Structure 1
Amino acid sequence: MSDFPFPGLNLAITTPFDASGHIDWTRLRGLVERYLAAGIKGFVLSSGTGMHVYLSKEESKELAQRGSRIINGRAKIIVQTSALLVEEVIERTKHAADCGADGVMVLPPFFEGPTDHDDIVAFYSEVAKGGLPIIGYNVPQAVGVEITPSLIQRLCEIPNFHTVKDSSGDLAKQASLIRTGLPVINGADPLVPYALFAGARGLIWGGANIAPKSCLGIVEAAEAQNWQLVRERWKPLEPIMSLIWQGDYVQSVYAAAKITGYDAGKPRRPLRALPAKNMLALRMALGDLATREAA
């Protein structure tokens, strides 16, 4: 993964909120410092896990600005700049560049957007004018657009288009993207070790908010091609990564991260804190991860 611009674990960091539902900038600084101390070398600001769709444009831009200042060159920075209007995507992307970001993550046109490959290529060609390396975002179950092997080949011909983050959750389809020989980033938490074995070049991982040290251990073992060690290190992570993927993803990440010591407060409305009835299963799936993270 060393020859790739976004290798290893890129943390889709939670956006912390205070009791009033406003972004808690003090807590953001504390979280970033803790994740840096744990060894995180890449951050995704305003990610899906960071509640991008529930941030205003101004908040998302301020998050990029403040987050970049806090990180201050100590890790790579990816900013999600997805929006309904292509002009707004370009505006957000140029702002991210001004903040010092290393790349942007961008959904294809969504909410009844075009599905024709020519239109999607045209969209990303416009986004490339923002001047930063682009990570396409494949989450067809939410967007209605699937990035296929033939489409990724066309997209990677666009200057500044570098890779696709695949959050489909379908390992067979992700493997078909990888077989094109083009770089692919895994974005499905339960698939991490299998995607790395299949040849994924990096990870954008929301569940890593919960246990960054343990998650980094997976990446280190994979980089060493020690797949037995990958399996051993995956074993304590597998239950929680499987559970959060089954539903209430963002709420579960916030709740679990609080238990392991990476408290970002409660998710913003319209999402609500994970119901008490779900907490027992969450705690059981976490096992001893809180103890491992504190070690």
Structure 2
Amino acid sequence: MRFEGIYTPIITPFASNGQIDWDVYAEVIDWQIENGVAGIIVGGSTGEFYALSKEERIQQFKFASERINNRVEFMAGVNDIRADECIDISMAAVDAGAKSLLVAAPPYSLPSEEELAYHVLAIAKTTELPIMLYNYPGRTGVEMGEDFLSIVAKNPLIAAIKESSGDYSRLPLLSNNYPSIELAVGGEEQVLEFAAWGAKSWVCATANFFPSECVQVMDILGKQSDFNKGRKLMAAFMPLMKALEQGGKFLQCVKFGCEMQGRPGGNVRLPLLPMDDSLKQEMTIIIENTRKSLNSILN
């Protein structure tokens, strides 16, 4: 098993002037490690990579690698709209000390499955790092389908897939037909279903503000296979997961969740806009109720 436990795609905290707040970024990293996550993902969509300059992204890799200091795994998100930029960002991650990569399809270009396989394998050949695929057709416009998987599964560096399509039929397909590619939870509200099909890792945005709780949930489901307790925990989580995944303000809600836990989150960058007061009030109630429900089950 290459990936096991919680891999948090950490937020990027911005100061009031809109620049990355590096002191707070260090706190974000340390708090995740203190709460037992297995890995930290730098440069994921939860980190607003698309709103950062190339220089900022590379600086993040270097800073995070030094701060993590091999205490947990450093995974780098390396997607970009241009294929050559993907390679450049990937090599910058290697140079910074990343131990693995999270790779999605380049958005907008809509490559065929064969073309996408060529792209992913080019990154694998160039970096020689284990890759977790990121299947999210809702963002990229293309799916990592069976033709694609049949090609890339032959490469041992293609180690896992974060499945974020929302299509439950993909879970048995991936588990049964592509056993060399580990299944990683890619939908916040689908952890129970993923675990039933063998997932041992969760790329978990919720861990930005509930890290310890998410670590315990994945341990209960992934290691202990305690699905009775797991169902209770996921029932407690579901109102929050629904608000995150279906509310249309995912990043704003994640950062607000950090603020609710006494962890600085900061604003989102354009084109996203801050939450309005009504959503803040709604999320305050949901997060407080979730915290209480989880504590009653876990403690």
Q: 1:155-234 residue pairs with structure 2 within 5 A?
A: 155-180=152-177, 181=179, 182-222=181-221, 223-234=223-234
Q: Residue 267 of structure 2 corresponds to which residue in structure 1? A: 266
Match 2:41 to one of 32, 41, 44: 44
1:118 paired with 2:119, answer no
Cα shift at 1:280: 2.2
> CA shift at 1:290, angstroms?
5.0
Aligned to 1:77: 74
**Residues in 1 aligned to 2:157 and 2:34: alpha-carbon distance in whole angstroms:** 31
**Equivalent residue for 2:128?**
131
Tell me the TM-score normalised to structure 1 length.
0.92
- Asked whether the equivalents of residues 12 and 49 of structure 1 are also in contact (C-alpha less than 8 Å), the reply is yes
Cα deviations across residues 198-254 of structure 1 (Å, max 9, x unaligned)? Answer: 212321111221211111111111111111121223233221111110121111111
Distance 1:225 1:264 in 2: 33
Q: Which moved more, 1:235-244 or 1:281-290?
A: 281-290
Q: Aligned equivalents of 1:172 and 1:33: distance in 2?
A: 37
Please tell me whether the aligned partners of residues 93 and 131 of structure 1 are also in contact (alpha carbons under 8 angstroms): no
5+ residue gaps, structure 2, are: none
1:147 matched to 2:144? The reply is yes
* Cα distance in 2, alignment partners of residues 242 and 173 from structure 1: 20
User: In 2, distance between residues paired with 1:24 and 1:118?
Assistant: 40
Following superposition, the deviation at residue 78 of structure 1 comes to 0.7
Query: How far apart are 1:17 and its partner, in Å?
Result: 0.7
Cα 1:289–1:37 change in 2 (3 A) is farther
Identity %: 24
Q: Which residue of 1 aligns with 2:98?
A: 101
Task: Spell out, residue by residue over 1:57-114, the C-alpha distance to the aligned partner (whole angstroms, 9 max, x if none).
Answer: 1111111110111010000011111112222211211111111111111111321231
- 2:31 matched to which residue of 1? 34
Give, in whole Å, the separation in 2 of the partners of 1:234 and 1:144: 29
Q: Is the 8 A contact 1:261 1:290 kept in 2?
A: no
Distance of 2:240 and 2:281 partners within structure 1: 12
5+ residue gaps in structure 1? none
User: 2:199 & 2:156 partners in 1: Cα distance?
Assistant: 21
3-state DSSP of counterpart to 1:106: strand
SS of the residue 1:237 aligns to: helix
Say whether the 8 Å CA contact 2:101–2:130 is kept in structure 1: yes
Q: CA deviation at 1:192?
A: 1.2
Figure out how many residues of one structure are paired with residues of the other and give that number: 290
8 Å CA contact retained: 2:7, 2:41 = yes
AA in 1 matched with 2:195: L
1:178 and 1:23 map into 2 onto residues whose CA distance is 39
Q: Quick check: 102-111 or 74-83, which moved more?
A: 102-111
Indicate conservation of the 8 Å contact 2:137/2:165, yes or no: yes
- Cα displacement string for residues 161-214 of structure 1 (whole angstroms, at most 9, x for unaligned residues): 222211112222233222222312121111112211221232111122121111
Q: Which moved more, 1:145-154 or 1:22-31?
A: 145-154
Structure 2 Cα separation of the partners of residues 82 and 197 of structure 1: 29
* Deviation for aligned residue 1:159: 4.7
Change (3 A) 1:290 1:262: farther
> Normalized against structure 2, the TM-score is what?
0.91
Once the two structures are TM-superposed, the CA of residue 284 in structure 1 deviates from its matched residue by: 2.1
Comparing 48-57 with 225-234, greater Cα deviation is found at 225-234
Q: What amino acid is the match of 2:44?
A: S
